[in-house]
Chain A
Amino acid sequence: MMSAAKYAKSVVILAAIAVLSVAHAAGQATAIPTTRLINPEELVKLLHTYGKEKPLMIQVGSHVLFSQAHIPGSEYIGPASTESGVQQLRKRVESLPRTKFIVLYCGCCPWGRCPNVKPADDTLRALGFTNVKVLYIADNFGTNWVDKGYPVAKGE
Chain B
Amino acid sequence: MLLVAVAIIGAGAAIYLMRHHESSQAQTSSSANPMAPDFTLPQLDGRDLRLSSYRGKLVLLDFWASWCAPCREETPHLIELQNKYGDRGLQIIGVSMDDSPDPARAFYQQFHMNYPVAMGNAKTGELYGGVLGLPIAFLIKRDGRIYAKHIGATDPAVFDKEIATLLQAP
Instruction: Check if A and B associate.
Output: yes
Are A68 and B99 within 8 A (Cβ)?
Answer: no
B133: A residues at CB distance < 8 A: 65, 107-109, 139-143
How far apart are A111's CB and chain B's nearest CB, in angstroms? 8
The interface bits of chain B over 119-135 (1 if a CB of A lies within 8 angstroms of the residue's CB, else 0) are 01110011000111110
How far apart are B107's CB and chain A's nearest CB, in angstroms? 14
Q: Does B161 contact A (CB under 8 A)?
A: no
- Cα of A140 to Cα of B120 in the assembled complex, Å: 18
Are A146 and B15 within 8 A (Cβ)?
Answer: no
Stretch at the interface among B39-47, B66-74, B86-94: B66-74
B59: A residues at CB distance < 8 A: none
B126: A residues at CB distance < 8 A: 68
Are B22 and A110 within 8 A (Cβ)?
Answer: yes
The interface bits of chain A over 143-156 (1 if a CB of B lies within 8 angstroms of the residue's CB, else 0) are 10010000000110
How far apart are A25's CB and chain B's nearest CB, in angstroms? 6
In the complex, chain B residues 15-49 whose Cβ is within 8 Å of any chain A Cβ: 15, 18-19, 21-22, 25
Q: Does B14 contact A (CB under 8 A)?
A: yes
Are A17 and B8 within 8 A (Cβ)?
Answer: yes
- Cα of A112 to Cα of B4 in the assembled complex, Å: 25
- Cα of A107 to Cα of B68 in the assembled complex, Å: 11
Q: Does B139 contact A (CB under 8 A)?
A: no
- Cα of A32 to Cα of B10 in the assembled complex, Å: 19
Q: Does A14 contact B (CB under 8 A)?
A: yes
Are B22 and A139 within 8 A (Cβ)?
Answer: yes
Chain B residues close to A by CB (< 8 Å): 4-5, 7-8, 11-12, 14-15, 18-19, 21-22, 25, 65, 67-70, 97-99, 120-122, 125-126, 130-134, 151-152
Given contacts A64-B98, A142-B131, 11 further A-B contacts (CB under 8 A): A18-B4, A28-B18, A62-B98, A68-B126, A68-B130, A108-B65, A108-B68, A113-B19, A139-B151, A140-B152, A155-B122
The contact sample of 26 A-B pairs, CB cut-off 8 A, is A11-B4, A14-B5, A17-B8, A21-B8, A21-B14, A62-B67, A62-B97, A65-B131, A65-B132, A67-B122, A69-B130, A79-B67, A108-B67, A108-B133, A109-B68, A109-B134, A112-B19, A112-B22, A113-B68, A115-B67, A140-B132, A140-B134, A140-B151, A141-B133, A142-B131, A154-B122
